[in-house]
Amino acid sequence: MRILLTTTSYQDTPGRHHELLEQSGHEIVRDRGPLPQSRMLELVGAGGGFDGLLHGDDEITRPVIEAALPRLKALSKYGIGLDSVDVQAATDLKVPVLFTPGVNHTTVAEHTFGLMMMLAKHLQVEANHVKDGRWKRITGTEMAGKTLGILGLGRIGKEVAKRGKAFEMQIIAYDVYWDEPFAQQHGIFRAEAAEDVLRRADVVTLHMNLTDENRRFINKQRIAMMKDTAMVINCSRGGLVDEVDVADACRAGKLAGYGADVLEHEPIKAPHPFQEIDNIVITPHIASRTYESVERQAVMSTENLLRLLAGEKPLAQANEF
């Protein structure tokens, strides 16, 4: 069988996943994503097509899936978020969508706090001052005693909450699917609405899936509800914020800062409203890119695909038909 592999962190990071894929005996075709729809259409239409796609955040649209049929047997996402995959189209066309829940919550939670510390202590700006030969000292902010607001108390949100308690922060959270035993165990206050979190939190961290309903959830109107000293952290999806509104708020001092590992359109293309603002820190979608997490994701995505191609049940499937 033929498999198309596009995710770069899978290819660039050593680990057991390479052995699994090589020992499968399947033909592997490699490209480097994330790829737009146009390139995906070129690939799936060449060389007789593919039995499986082992992909990252490539644009897996209805036209791509249709072009890959009838040979395509499965889509195996390296990762959790499926907003780049037309899951409804895959379901309509009876193509299994496989994914890797539960593999990166630790490292994304750590990255969330890394961004928080960079903003609270002005670490990026101060480090650049010293490298430039300047000894300019800016007063930072402690996290202890502050209120951490978590929007989305799933696997990653829970890991962030536990770390927030270790920093002696007060935790308020909102999630449609509420885990009351976890909240009670860790002393988390349940907000009745997401806007309640925005009004009360000193730091708001986003751990929601991106949907049509919450696209650009953090916008001018909701920023107006927040404290002027509040920071926003986004290690989820860039589309959850209105980037122009966030840039304006950070520049004007309405937000103390914005730290994110994601952009609405990646990679960044100049000019971008975030580039010249000191209290905005952006990393290039690396929150889950540690050796440990990459191997977990890559092994699970590989096992998902190889099991399905062998006629066995995958470890995790996102759709049913």
35 phi/psi in degrees, rounded to 5: -105, 140
- Full strand arrangement of the beta sheet holding 74-77: 27-30, 2-5, 52-55, 74-77, 97-98
> Which segments of the chain are extended strands (E)?
2-5, 27-30, 52-55, 74-77, 97-98, 147-151, 170-174, 188-190, 203-206, 231-234, 257-260, 280-282
Tell me the C-alpha distance between 225 and 221, whole Å.
7
**Catalytic site residue from 122, 285, 289, 296:** 285
Opening angle at CA 262, ends 258 and 265, nearest 5: 115
CA separation, residue 307 to residues 73, 98, 302 (Å): 12, 11, 8
Three-state DSSP state, 92? helix
How many angstroms separate the CA atoms of 9 and 177, rounded?
Answer: 31
- With a CB cutoff of 8 Å and minimum separation 6, the contacts of 294 are 9, 10, 13, 15, 288
Which residue reads 């047997």 in tokens?
73
Tell me whether residue 237 is one of the annotated catalytic residues: yes
Q: How many CA atoms lie within 13 A of 225 on its CB side?
A: 16
Q: Is 289 a catalytic residue?
A: no
Q: Looking at 237, 295, 296, 303, which residue is catalytic?
A: 237
**Which position among 19, 142, 266, 276 bears the catalytic label?**
266
Pairing of strands 231-234, 257-260: parallel
CB–CB of 298/21 below 8 Å? no
272 is catalytic: no
Q: What residues are labeled active site?
A: 237, 266, 285
